[in-house]
Amino acid sequence: MDNTYMLSVVLCAVDETFSLRETFDGIDRFHLADEYLFVLSQTCTDGCLRTVKELCAREDCRYIIQSGRGFGNAIRDAIFEVRGTHMLLWSADGATDSAAYPELVRLSKENPDTVVTVSRWLSDDGFPGYNPVRKVVNRVSQRMFALLFRSDQTDLTNPTQIAPTELYRSIRWEENGFDFLPELIFKPIRLGARFIEVPGKCLPRREGKSHSSFRELVLYYFRILHIYRMDRSEIIRQEEQS
């Protein structure tokens, strides 16, 4: 095991308050993170900002205001802001069951060059409260993406994953909105990164509202096809190319 391993947990927030606090407490109880970084939207609510300031009274917790608009922009800011060797993007509204968290970290520490990700389809009940039609669509999409990218992964649309920070920093990111999420998953795949999946649940949202529109959902799928057609050299940041 690499003794230099440091984990930065990133939570992007807009209007979450009590769910954000419960989410933080749910993973912090395991005492596995070296740093917590909150990335707040420029339009975050007063209640959200107040909650984050209270949580960041600790030395291992800090926050930044994202430099631009969009969820993708927030994650891009986090990638170059975190201090850890590894970065975990965790849902601020409690949408991911914290029971998967310890196993994610354990496997990441044992396999530091690997991306360790949550798979809802490996769990006995990975979609509690999920719309049955959406669940079928998700299942069909997963199989289609796995075939397209020649991947044996079972969940290719869940961005809850621990990845080496340097891997993320070596990638040329493009989008700033919701359709950034496929880049987080499929660009590492195109670069040949190895993935390990951990069973986990996607829990119903209890606070706030979804900030993705139908148009953004359509763009999400187009972004995946765009990544599939990209040349590997187009995925790597220019300064990383030899």
CA distance 3 to 49: 34
127 pLDDT band, cuts 50/70/90, is confident
With beta carbons less than 8 A apart as the criterion, state whether 228 and 186 touch.
Answer: yes
pLDDT of the residue at 1: 47
Q: Is 240 inside any structural domain?
A: no
Which CA distances in Å does 96 have to 45, 109, 188, 194? Answer: 22, 20, 22, 22
Q: Is 241 inside any structural domain?
A: no
Q: Is pLDDT above 80 for 146?
A: yes
Q: Is 108 inside any structural domain?
A: yes
Q: Is 1 inside any structural domain?
A: no
Q: Is 53 inside any structural domain?
A: yes
What lies within 8 Å, CB to CB, of 199 at 6+ separation is 100, 118, 119, 122, 123, 124, 126
pLDDT of the residue at 61: 97
Secondary structure letter of residue 221 according to DSSP: H
Q: Is 71 inside any structural domain?
A: yes
Tell me: the pLDDT tens digits for 16-41? 999 999 999 999 999 999 999 999 99
Q: Is 51 inside any structural domain?
A: yes
Q: Is 34 inside any structural domain?
A: yes
Query: Mean of the per-residue pLDDT values for the chain?
Result: 92
126 pLDDT band, cuts 50/70/90, is confident
Tell me: the pLDDT tens digits for 83-98? 999 999 999 988 899 9
Read off the pLDDT of each residue in 47-73 and give the average, rounded to a whole number: 95
How many Å from the N-terminal Cα to the C-terminal Cα in the chain?
A: 30
110 pLDDT band, cuts 50/70/90, is very high
Tell me: the pLDDT tens digits for 190-238? 999 999 999 999 887 666 555 556 677 788 889 999 999 999 999 999 8
Q: What is the CATH number of the domain that holds 138?
A: 3.90.550.10
Nearest to 170 by CA among 80, 50, 62, 49: 80
With beta carbons less than 8 A apart as the criterion, state whether 118 and 200 touch.
Answer: yes
Beta strands in the chain (DSSP E): 7-13, 35-40, 61-65, 86-89, 115-119, 161-164, 195-199
Average the pLDDT over each of 92-106, 108-122, 172-186, 211-225 and give the range with the smallest value. 211-225
Range of the domain at 24: 7-234
The percent of residues above 70 in pLDDT, for the chain, comes to 93
With beta carbons less than 8 A apart as the criterion, state whether 46 and 203 touch.
Answer: no
With beta carbons less than 8 A apart as the criterion, state whether 60 and 87 touch.
Answer: no
pTM: 0.91
In the block, tokens 């139908």 appear at 214
Q: Is pLDDT above 60 for 241?
A: no
Taking residue 159's Cβ as centre, other Cβ atoms within 10 Å add up to: 19
Number of domains, the chain: 1
